Chain A
């Protein structure tokens, strides 16, 4: 639990962070809340030579409405997401997801940008961002870039983020009829399985459905089979139950570890898909 030696610098702006990061020639790392990076450093699984602290860049912090979308700055901590009045009113699934992360200490320090960049296969935000169809805003020496959440998460701890790029924000159109359901790993409280579901309903029928899954595979994915089974069907409990049934069985390369075997994870994907969809339905009538 003792990291190797490193330098520490504090960035004053996004541009300053990018310049400082580039100057390390690939050996430096950004640090935001430190709640993924510092544990890795203590275990010496990651040994950056320089840490560039972005936690005090005010431009990265905050939750606001912009052009009909909601924007969450990358440096916003989980606690602020969990307790945001704006999100609570317009897109409560985002707050609900944040509230399931870790414990109060983690939520007071950890940031959404750090969670996305780190891309733990059991992290909660990725499933939710897939369900709300978020866009991830990046900035690098070459300027800004926008990546859809669906394209961002690529593999285990691997995302579409250049070595000198920084995540600045996520944006999405608010959806009320959306919910997150999570099976907690009892030690870490990460997700063994986490499912976020968002529904759009026209005249009692499901016109669009997005279902994001985390925990079961090497990275977060959309459950397109479930989505297809929902669209065009009446927005009822029976519909979601049927659509969720085969969700787990349809997956390949399901993870297995001490806490959950492959068979159990598959079964839980179906259970939590159903629970997330039921939650979304409940919000429809609320």
Chain B
């Protein structure tokens, strides 16, 4: 009998991240670590008014400073830099990388300095004098919808960026006809209707590494290399080439280590256009590194959607219909995906429930704030929040246990694939299983007793539950203007080691580890023999990028397919070398041998050596072992889960404390549970942050009030209880791995379940809903009625 293989299978194992040793030791290379001989530094002079007409920009003092290479106004930049790109089909106002006539938010660039060092560039920018005619600013989107007190863009009446798009039951595919009869009938038949306005507040993504760009145009070769802290170097390359009038073959985009993106680094930014355009114009390598103050103002924000929800139900808790009216405050401009993000809130309004009639509408509004775009979860946490808070309000109204209300309305396992009222087709799911595991892990009934015992002592303790379903594995090309596929190439090198590329450019997802695990199992080689290359269009032939929790489901599948192709070819070379039939071969312990006869085998180096010097060349084969694959899924994936929390509020101060967080997540098959837990932890941190302490605030006149970490709170590890995680496994049929995606999941369930727990804690004061974030003063006012 043959000995069993020495190398263990790695898929499904808690393999430690291969990326971490270098990152923890400070050995990673980020954009700001890139230095090129002759490199000059760029600084942006930014608007300190929220809305104003630029009357003049005085740059002469800056231009005269020794070491200053160039000073340019918006008008001068517009001569060679295209307007900023929009990736959505909605009409969009002209958006310049550097403002030419009107500034529309604090932080918008007005002038650009190029100088020999970063400090000088900043000093020179400080000397630029801008004469403004201040205009009224608007920060409240519902006020902006009245057209008062100002028009952010002259051509967009009442500041409507996207005017009332209908969705749901009875809406024709072209959105032209809307039949409300089913929704009206549901509400007419209902025993109970609950209604609530909620705000899913504005957040700042605050990646640990702010943005940065280095661009190097080489005149002799007529090529451009651009390094940027981006989630999608291939998309960046496409736009930078187009903007500069260059071919995509002439531009190489590199995302070196990226210290967090959270969706905010999908966008193509004005700073990228300006630095690349100026490098070509001046023939100099240029660098811009965003500082933290700039990051709060000039990197896109997330969320900021108001939701009006009405739920119609029978007395025994069957939801008959839902109305959801969304008003999204998108800030001053449409960025790459801005207008599309709130459409994902519409798309996921059906949540985990079999709701027979839904009317949703969406209005997107311009205001004088930083533009919004994707932020971890991007539209789905908002949908989850509105619907789950609505379900809780309904449960309270009906006097029903929140878990039982959910159970009564779930889409059932035998209903999948399930076409929702909102036009999505959920791939697979078993929501009740996740709920049951959540209730069991939390020990829901014991939790209730604990809560009631605490209340008897006068403490304010509450519990909350939320279900979620999200859309991940962003795919088919019909839904993404960039294309909805991913690409990979797997190469057996001449020494038998494996190189693989992926277009899913990681920035914390750990693809070097998970993709390595997959190839290690596929080929039966040690993880150490595999290198995953990413984030460089010069090395990775094609790709889309990492967002929408797509890297494993889409990128991982492309890798798996490319690996399969090479393996097939390698088996043919091995068969010729061993003089066996390829169907009888096994790949184990770094060798390819006849099943049951390990001594018959050849090492990877031997087979690769033969494949690259194929004498004689087996019939029907070409030399070499390198294959590529594109993969486009037929549908998205729909992971889901159940989050439960226990919260205590300090009666004297209103300070909320999270006592427990129990999460059950179902991301389909897991490649690496350790990495999945890390992703959940990060998502929970940001979801808890949104519920409890994070909020971007502006004054009435559009001045940012939270433009540093002194005023914008982000959670720290010490603020959390020990997360109690678990998972169910419901594989997806849309890819051969059965993997759904997990990067954003933690932000969906945690936020509503914490707000619900807090509302429950304050139930003795008759409160129905509390808007985020849970500012202690707000809770204190509920407790004390504003009295001290």
Chain A contacts to B: CB under 8 angstroms: 1-5, 43-44, 103, 183, 186-188, 248-249, 258-261, 263-264, 266-268, 270-271
Which residues of B have CB within 8 Å of A258? 697, 705-706, 711
* Interface SS of B by simple majority: loop
**Pairwise interchain contact B713-A268, C-beta atoms closer than 8 A:** no
**Pairwise interchain contact B693-A186, C-beta atoms closer than 8 A:** yes
Number of interface residues of B (CB under 8 A): 30
Q: List 21 A-B contacts (CB under 8 A).
A: A1-B291, A1-B292, A1-B293, A2-B119, A2-B122, A2-B291, A4-B123, A5-B123, A186-B693, A186-B713, A187-B693, A187-B711, A187-B713, A188-B709, A188-B710, A258-B697, A259-B777, A261-B777, A264-B781, A270-B788, A271-B653
| B466-486 Cβ-contact flags toward A at 8 Å (1 or 0) | 000000000000000000000
Please measure, in the bound complex, the distance between the C-alpha atom of A248 and the C-alpha atom of B788, giving whole angstroms: 9
A2 to chain B, nearest CB (A): 4
Task: Give residues 704-749 of B contacting A (CB, 8 Å).
Answer: 705-706, 709-714, 716
Chain A CB within 8 A of B218 CB: no
**Pairwise interchain contact B126-A44, C-beta atoms closer than 8 A:** yes
Please measure, in the bound complex, the distance between the C-alpha atom of A240 and the C-alpha atom of B712, giving whole angstroms: 35
Which residues of A have CB within 8 Å of B291? 1-2
Please measure, in the bound complex, the distance between the C-alpha atom of A97 and the C-alpha atom of B293, giving whole angstroms: 30
| B765-788 Cβ-contact flags toward A at 8 Å (1 or 0) | 000000000011100110010101
**Pairwise interchain contact B710-A266, C-beta atoms closer than 8 A:** no
Which residue of chain B has the shortest Cβ distance to A2 in the bound complex? B122
Quick one: given A2-B119, A270-B788, are A260 and B777 in contact (CB under 8 Å)? yes
Please measure, in the bound complex, the distance between the C-alpha atom of A44 and the C-alpha atom of B126, giving whole angstroms: 10
Which residue of chain B has the shortest Cβ distance to A1 in the bound complex? B291
**Pairwise interchain contact B122-A267, C-beta atoms closer than 8 A:** no
Closest 6 pairs (CB-CB, A-B): A267-B788, A1-B291, A187-B713, A2-B122, A186-B713, A264-B777
Which residues of A have CB within 8 Å of B784? 267
Which residues of A have CB within 8 Å of B652? 271
Please measure, in the bound complex, the distance between the C-alpha atom of A275 and the C-alpha atom of B118, giving whole angstroms: 49
Scoring B118, B291, B710 by chain A CB atoms within 10 A of each residue's CB, the highest score goes to B710
Which residues of A have CB within 8 Å of B712? 187
Please measure, in the bound complex, the distance between the C-alpha atom of A167 and the C-alpha atom of B368, giving whole angstroms: 46
Which residues of A have CB within 8 Å of B716? 103
| B680-703 Cβ-contact flags toward A at 8 Å (1 or 0) | 000000000000010001000000
Which residues of A have CB within 8 Å of B780? 264, 267
B710 to chain A, nearest CB (A): 4
Which residue of chain B has the shortest Cβ distance to A261 in the bound complex? B777
Please measure, in the bound complex, the distance between the C-alpha atom of A249 and the C-alpha atom of B788, giving whole angstroms: 9
Which residues of A have CB within 8 Å of B655? 183
B106 to chain A, nearest CB (A): 15
Which residue of chain A has the shortest Cβ distance to B716 in the bound complex? A103
18 further interface pairs, Cβ-Cβ under 8 Å (given A5-B119, A258-B705): A2-B122, A4-B119, A5-B123, A43-B293, A183-B653, A183-B655, A187-B709, A187-B712, A188-B709, A249-B788, A258-B711, A260-B777, A263-B786, A263-B788, A267-B788, A268-B653, A271-B652, A271-B653
**Pairwise interchain contact B711-A188, C-beta atoms closer than 8 A:** yes
Please measure, in the bound complex, the distance between the C-alpha atom of A84 and the C-alpha atom of B9, giving whole angstroms: 52
Please measure, in the bound complex, the distance between the C-alpha atom of A44 and the C-alpha atom of B780, giving whole angstroms: 37
**Pairwise interchain contact A187-B710, C-beta atoms closer than 8 A:** yes
Please measure, in the bound complex, the distance between the C-alpha atom of A186 and the C-alpha atom of B778, giving whole angstroms: 14
Which residue of chain A has the shortest Cβ distance to B710 in the bound complex? A188
B345 to chain A, nearest CB (A): 27
**Pairwise interchain contact B788-A266, C-beta atoms closer than 8 A:** yes
A123 to chain B, nearest CB (A): 13
Please measure, in the bound complex, the distance between the C-alpha atom of A37 and the C-alpha atom of B616, giving whole angstroms: 74
Which residue of chain B has the shortest Cβ distance to A103 in the bound complex? B716
Which residues of A have CB within 8 Å of B713? 186-187
Which residues of B have CB within 8 Å of A43? 293
Please measure, in the bound complex, the distance between the C-alpha atom of A248 and the C-alpha atom of B653, giving whole angstroms: 14
Please measure, in the bound complex, the distance between the C-alpha atom of A186 and the C-alpha atom of B716, giving whole angstroms: 10
Which residue of chain B has the shortest Cβ distance to A260 in the bound complex? B777
B704 to chain A, nearest CB (A): 11
Please measure, in the bound complex, the distance between the C-alpha atom of A195 and the C-alpha atom of B7, giving whole angstroms: 62
Which residues of A have CB within 8 Å of B122? 2
Which residues of A have CB within 8 Å of B706? 187, 258
Please measure, in the bound complex, the distance between the C-alpha atom of A1 and the C-alpha atom of B296, giving whole angstroms: 12
B459 to chain A, nearest CB (A): 16
Please measure, in the bound complex, the distance between the C-alpha atom of A98 and the C-alpha atom of B786, giving whole angstroms: 32
